[in-house]
Amino acid sequence: MVNYECILLAAGEGQRAALGYNKVLYKINGKKELFRYSLDYFIKDELCKKIIMVISEKDKLYFINVFKTLKCNKIDFVIGGDTRGDSVKSGLKKVTSEYCIIHDSARPLIYKEDVYNLLNNAKETGGATLATKVYNTTCHIVDGYVDEYFSRSTLASIITPQCFRSEMLTVAYEEASKKGLTFTDDSSIFKACGNSVKLVFTDNISVKATTSYDIKLLEGILYAKDR
């Protein structure tokens, strides 16, 4: 199994969660910040040799204080950018390993078997993403009406973590910048630049804290898990 470095994204503003501050700093059940769940995973995973936390200038002091208490020599940090893609680009500049894993710290549920499956699968094409099956009926919308239904068996919901050959992802970002292309995740940038993305399906539950409802849901799940 291959070693890797992790880019852990935490430089957003959390606008849709509407807390008035970055949602990843929210203390789940009054105890542990949201970002700490994935950070703790990568601290413990022995294949992870470096954690590059991407943070915003606004939250810098808060994070530095947390890092001090953790006393973990694997943690490094960098200031992110205005968009998620800009933050990934900042993180990539600090990557020195052949493979890197990119993860949204807004997703606290992370499992070793998924991370190791990703690492194994990324060797095939240089890029792999975790994905879940789609269980709801899904359609394309035009003007508030159903335009066309999709067959669920041909759909996947793409989540993080994702794993890439660091060099290939860096080149993909450079090409995307030149062409002025923007995307919501790294697998789509990787694919747009002519690479293949291997899908790694998981049955494990993954919830991204996007709205305040997601945060409530995560508090319930994590309360049950932490017991």
Q: Least distance in Å: CB of 209 to ligand CTP? A: 7
Q: Least distance in Å: CB of 142 to ligand CTP? A: 25
Mark 118-132 as b/e (b = at least 16 C-beta within 10 Å): bbebbeebbbbbbbb
Among 94, 123, 191, 208, binds ligand CTP (CB under 6 A): 208
For residue 87, state whether it binds ligand CTP (rule: CB under 6 A).
yes
Nearer to ligand CTP, 87 or 195 (CB): 87
Residues in the chain: 227
For residue 33, state whether it binds ligand CTP (rule: CB under 6 A).
no
Q: Least distance in Å: CB of 9 to ligand CTP? A: 4
Give the SS3 label for residue 137.
coil
Among 5, 33, 104, 219, binds ligand CTP (CB under 6 A): 104
Beta strand segments in the chain, E: 4-9, 27-28, 32-33, 48-55, 75-79, 99-104, 127-133, 138-142, 145-150, 156-165, 198-201
Interaction site with ligand CTP (CB under 6 A): 9-16, 24, 54, 80-84, 87, 104-106, 208, 210
